[in-house]
Amino acid sequence: MKYIVGARGSQLSIAQTNWVISELKKVNPDCEYEIKSITTKGDTDSRPLFTINQKGIFEKEVDRAVSQKEVDFAVHSLKDVPSELDESLIIASIPKREAVNDVFISSDDSSLENIKKGAVIGTSSLRRAVQVSRIRPDVTVKPIRGNIETRIKKASGEDFDAIVLAQAGISRLGVDVKFSPLSIETFSPSPGQGAIAIVSRADDENTISMLKKIEDADSRLEIEAERALSDYVDSGCRFPLGAYAKSNGSEMTLTVFAFSVDGKQSLHVSKTGSKNDPKFLGKSAGEELRKKGVNDLALNWREKVEEWNKS
């Protein structure tokens, strides 16, 4: 049996897809896999990600190929997959999650805490930008685009003194670079960060069964809690919200941080509930955020984003 696998053409996407294929070959040694590279809107639009008014900018074209049977399944960074998938598609498998934290990479091996005043720090994420500014209001944060290795090269001290990005991407690419891990307790990650989503057609039972062989049960449950939270408060890549869920025996704790777009206000919620009802846990955390005024934090974010993008 031969499967055609859809993926973005980025280095990270291909590396993730090759990792998925290697895991699948362990449990399906008689199967063959071929990668079909697909260009997405996110690959061709050079604007900072948080200014693009569209969900699924790194996912839509790839998943369209799945639904139209041009490929058998697709591999994504899970945080790129919107909650509203086409009704013909499902997230068939979530393999074991990588590290969820972000990292700080600087030209002189400084940490976020001790980098020089006035340093220019690059990030593609508004959530990261807000948290950097909260911790170090005396630095300048600017948008940065490009693949991971390109961004790392930009942290040379010419245009940027440092960058912030996810540890999972560095790990999956095998990039040899010195970095300072940022604690998830003080620098909250994006919901779904570090996880891979494998999308297939909902009616393709044989492919789903094959993909389920590499699913990690705890990763699936943790992701479902985080996505239920995001869906409830309708956060996207432009609204600064961090969240991570962690299983512990039969329980799961979901920790959430929400920020005003200027970073001056924040909300914190931590909820513990049954691991086997992650969507209820996510909704409960979302309800508490709403009671605390999370909708007020979202006010005027569009103007603030445009202002920050021009800086």
**HEC assignment per residue over the chain:** CEEEEEEECCHHHHHHHHHHHHHHHHHCCCCEEEEEEECCHHHHCCCCHHHCCCCCCCCHHHHHHHHCCCCCEEEEEHHHCCCCCCCCEEEEECCCCCCCCEEEEECCCCCCCCCCCCCEEEECCHHHHHHHHHHCCCCEEEECCCCHHHHHHHCCCCCCCEEEEEHHHHHHHCCCCCCEECCCCCCCCCCCCCCEEEEEECCCHHHHHHHHCCCCHHHHHHHHHHHHHHHHHCCCCCCCEEEEEEEECCEEEEEEEEECCCCCCEEEEEEEEECCCHHHHHHHHHHHHHHCCHHHHCCCHHHHHHHHHHC
Residue 40 — pLDDT band, cuts 50, 70, 90? low
pLDDT in tens, 57-96: 558 889 999 999 999 999 999 988 888 888 999 999 999 9
Is beta strand 2-8 parallel, antiparallel or unpaired with respect to 32-38? parallel
Residue pair 36/42 in contact (Cβ under 8 Å)? The answer is: no
* Type of residue found at 205: E
Q: Which of 43, 45, 63, 80 is catalytic?
A: 80
pLDDT average, residue stretch 208-234: 95
pTM: 0.88
Q: Is 86 a catalytic residue?
A: no
pLDDT at 53 over 60: no
* Residues comprising the chain, all counted: 311
Kindly list the distances between the CA atom of residue 17 and the CA atoms of 133, 215, 300, 307, 309, in Å, as whole numbers in the listed order. 34, 15, 38, 37, 32
Residue 279 — pLDDT band, cuts 50, 70, 90? very high
Residue 289 — pLDDT band, cuts 50, 70, 90? very high
pLDDT in tens, 97-107: 999 999 999 99
